[in-house]
Amino acid sequence: MQPIDAVPVRRPGRWIAAIAVAVLAAAVVRSVATNPRFQWDVVGEMLFSERILHGLLLTLELTAIAMVAGVALGVVVAVARMSPNKLLAGAGAFYVWLFRGTPVLVQLLFWSFIAALYPTVGIGPFEADANLLITPFMAAVLGLALNEAAYMAEIVRAGIASVPEGQSEAASALGMSRLQMLRRIVLPQAMRVIVPPTGNETISMLKTTSLVSVIASSDLLYSAQLIYSQNFKQVPLLIVVCIWYLAITTLLSLGQAALERHYGRGVRRTRKESKPMRFLKPAVAR
């Protein structure tokens, strides 16, 4: 066998681009590190302060609750939209139209003012004062979850529609019930299409929760705002907030990649998997 000893193609463009990026990065790092007005000492001090950690906990709680409720309700709305019952399908479509068609910020404000519309909520003798029931936290959960459900419904619908009809036909030909078919055959395969956008939705939800600061729910951002309204250290506190959001987002991306691998079962191995944090291990051109 004759070895191939060829001269590789020269790629000067890549080298120039790489140098330009490196120089730019160095300049940014230098300025961030040396500019005293970033007040990195305050950042370090505040990063694990009690009030910030409290806010972080609430942000995580809100994200988790809103996503779980949003996914659950989203599946229901998606199934309704795909129902042969015209009224049910119409109700599902209306839901998506309403909650996807208005800004989530407006929806949050609306829920916090719901007591103006319905001073009491309940049925018959079980009535409660809406002002007591709809706390800022409840309003935040309602606003975020109901809005999320509209987006999740579309994602779930696309996932279910992506499973070939032959799969459900084969399942029913074997005598499986509709529920078994959905749970064992259709949904596991739909997950491959559902998981990646749901991961994006979760990351997006983590950041959207910062909107609840407008209804005085003390999440991560609102806690930071409360602190800097007293000590006027706006920039370092906003950096603290960013560090926490980035940290959680990184963890979520890793979890998403693991889920994608799990639900990629049975699909050809050559399929490209999403690689979170790719920029951390860049493939440098030779």
Nearest approach, Cβ of residue 195 and another protein (Å): 13
Nearest approach, Cβ of residue 105 and another protein (Å): 40
Given a contact cutoff of 8 angstroms between Cβ atoms, the answer to whether 109 and 214 are in contact is yes
Q: Which of 83, 180, 204, 249 binds another protein (CB under 8 A)?
A: 180
Q: Which of 11, 30, 51, 184 binds another protein (CB under 8 A)?
A: 184
Residues 6+ apart with CB under 8 A from 44: none
Looking at the Cβ atoms of 185 and 212, the one nearer to another protein is 185
DSSP β-bridge partners for residue 127: 122
Q: How far apart are CA 158 and CA 168, in angstroms?
A: 16
Given a contact cutoff of 8 angstroms between Cβ atoms, the answer to whether 258 and 195 are in contact is no
Q: Which of 61, 88, 188, 200 binds another protein (CB under 8 A)?
A: 188
Q: Which of 108, 182, 185, 227 binds another protein (CB under 8 A)?
A: 185
Looking at the Cβ atoms of 51 and 262, the one nearer to another protein is 262
DSSP β-bridge partners for residue 95: none
Q: State which of positions 37-96 bind another protein (CB under 8 A).
A: none
Q: State which of positions 138-177 bind another protein (CB under 8 A).
A: 164, 166-167, 169-177
Nearest approach, Cβ of residue 174 and another protein (Å): 4
Structure tokens at 87: 């009224």
CA-based Rg of the chain, rounded to a whole angstrom?
25
Q: How far apart are CA 133 and CA 128, in angstroms?
A: 7
